Amino acid sequence: MSAPSLTPEIVLHTSPHLHSARSVGVIMRNVVYAMLPICLYGVYNFGISVVALLVVSTLSCVLTEHMFCRAAGRPSSIKDSSVIITGILLGLTLPPGFPLWMAAVGGFVAVGLGKMLFGGLGFNVFNPALVGRAFLQAAFPTAITTYTPALANGRFAEFIPTTLTFPFAQPPVITEWIARVRIDAFSGATPLTALKFDKIGTGLTPLFWGNVAGSAGETSVILILLGGLYLVARNFMDWRITAAMLLSAFVLSGVFHLSNPAAYPHPLFMLFSGGLMLGAVFMATDMVGSPVTPLGVWIYGGVMGALTILIRLLGGLPEGVMYAILIGNAVSPMIDNLTQPRVYGTQRKTGARA
């Protein structure tokens, strides 16, 4: 990854000396391909509002990065596609009827605060999309918890009323609209909210295929897993992080479930519901925010999975993936420090560093 040298000189390098042709741009474009089926399913599930949501969040992110680059007098870095991923991921984690102007604000905060102020790609401490979402969650707590039914009637003909809210205005109350378009007795709750506040469970089959309420792109477990498998097969993603996160979430929620099956849901429900799958596959594995040591990635994933379950079952919020991953990002440099492997030919000394 060395910068091309302008003067003919002998360049001394540590290993690796052989580079593959894959650049940041190639990796990022493949991540976009892996996310496309999820986006399409989101559109099928919730209608044209999701198209508008994804377009606005992505455009807002790209424009913000371009503006910041220009203000800093640097060449624009939007061509490496990483900002497109941020935009799409942000859109996928928002409710389908989320007001577009708020999505634009989220994109600005995600890229401006979460990425460019730290110095751009590679320097950001946190996953930018989640920084944007955390800001939106704190700023507009009502709008970001207003969900609409999946497979609603007429979803390809009209926008969800909240989508087209005038900038800086409050989104309208859509209880009546939901009553008109829903195909079953939808109460406005995602599977996790229904479980936490109304004690209503959801079957595993709809959760697996994805025709349930939720954020625009988090509902279909099968499509997210397929996208992840594609990235793993092309060696663009560290599967150990995803595996560790899902495993620790499964084990911890299994312990809860066995201790009191009436109060705590089945571990598979915990894996398939909410944003855990999307977070574990596409956000926790963000190369910038995760550790690099072999043991570190397992610890990192394990911490995030356990935090997710703890927030969901013991915290006040129905969903905890976002905060779990942000905390995971924050501790990942420390995990790296603690898990430095022994350098070949040296002995690990206690106390002083060799």
Partner 1 sequence: MAHAHGNAPSPSESMEAFLNGLWKQNPVFVQVLGMCPTLAVTNSARNAAAMGLATIFVLVCSNTLISLVRKLVQKQVRIATYILIIATFVTMVDYIIKAVSVDVYKALGPFIALIVVNCIILGRAEAFASKNSVGKSILDGLGMGLGFAIALFCLGGVREILGAGTLFGVSLFGPNFQPWVLFLLPSGGFFTLAGWLLIFTWWKERKKRMAEAQQ
| Closer by beta carbon to partner 1, 119 or else 201 | 119
Comparing CA positions, the residue from 213, 162, 146 lying closest to residue 186 is 213
Binding status of residue 316 toward partner 1 by CB under 8 A:
no
Q: What is the DSSP string of 89-155?
A: HHHHTS-TT--HHHHHHHHHHHHHTTTGGGTSTTT-SS-HHHHHHHHHHHH-TTGGG----TT-TTT
Q: Are 224 and 38 in contact (CB under 8 A)?
A: yes
Q: Which of 97, 171, 227, 289 binds partner 1 (CB under 8 A)?
A: 171
| Closer by beta carbon to partner 1, 162 or else 219 | 162
Among the candidate windows 148-156, 168-176, 194-202, 269-277, which touches partner 1 by CB under 8 A? 168-176
Binding status of residue 170 toward partner 1 by CB under 8 A:
yes
Among the candidate windows 40-48, 145-153, 165-173, 179-187, which touches partner 1 by CB under 8 A? 165-173
User: Least Å distance between CB 311 and partner 1?
Assistant: 18
Binding status of residue 344 toward partner 1 by CB under 8 A:
no
Q: For residues 102-121, which are near partner 1 according to CB under 8 A? A: 102, 117
DSSP 79: G
**What's the Rg (C-alpha) of the chain?**
21
Binding status of residue 352 toward partner 1 by CB under 8 A:
no
Task: Report d(CA 153, CA 173) in Å as an integer.
Answer: 18
- Contact letters for partner 1, residues 1-20 (x by CB under 8 A): --------------------
| Closer by beta carbon to partner 1, 5 or else 142 | 142
| Closer by beta carbon to partner 1, 164 or else 229 | 164
Token pair in block for residue 107 = 């994109």
Among the candidate windows 76-84, 139-147, 285-293, 306-314, which touches partner 1 by CB under 8 A? 139-147
Comparing CA positions, the residue from 229, 215, 216, 208 lying closest to residue 34 is 229
Task: Report d(CA 99, CA 108) in Å as an integer.
Answer: 15
Q: Which of 1, 138, 185, 354 binds partner 1 (CB under 8 A)?
A: 138
For residue 214, CA distances in Å to 95, 126, 219, 318, 351 come to 6, 24, 6, 12, 50
Binding status of residue 140 toward partner 1 by CB under 8 A:
yes
Comparing CA positions, the residue from 95, 311, 99 lying closest to residue 190 is 95
Number of residues that bind partner 1 (CB under 8 A): 15
| Closer by beta carbon to partner 1, 159 or else 230 | 159
Among the candidate windows 4-12, 120-128, 140-148, 325-333, which touches partner 1 by CB under 8 A? 140-148
Among the candidate windows 76-84, 166-174, 197-205, 300-308, which touches partner 1 by CB under 8 A? 166-174
Q: How many CB atoms lie within 10 A of CB 18?
A: 5
Among the candidate windows 163-171, 191-199, 202-210, 331-339, which touches partner 1 by CB under 8 A? 163-171
Q: Which of 168, 343, 345, 346 binds partner 1 (CB under 8 A)?
A: 168
Binding status of residue 169 toward partner 1 by CB under 8 A:
yes
Q: How many CB atoms lie within 10 A of CB 244?
A: 22
Binding status of residue 154 toward partner 1 by CB under 8 A:
no
Q: For residues 56-75, which are near partner 1 according to CB under 8 A? A: 71
What sign does the dihedral 197-199-200-202 (CA atoms) show? positive
Q: Output 233-236 pairs: Cβ under 8 A, ≥24 positions apart.
A: 234/30, 236/27, 236/30, 236/31
- Residues at the contact surface with partner 1, assessed by CB under 8 A: 71, 102, 117, 135, 138-141, 143, 165-166, 168-171
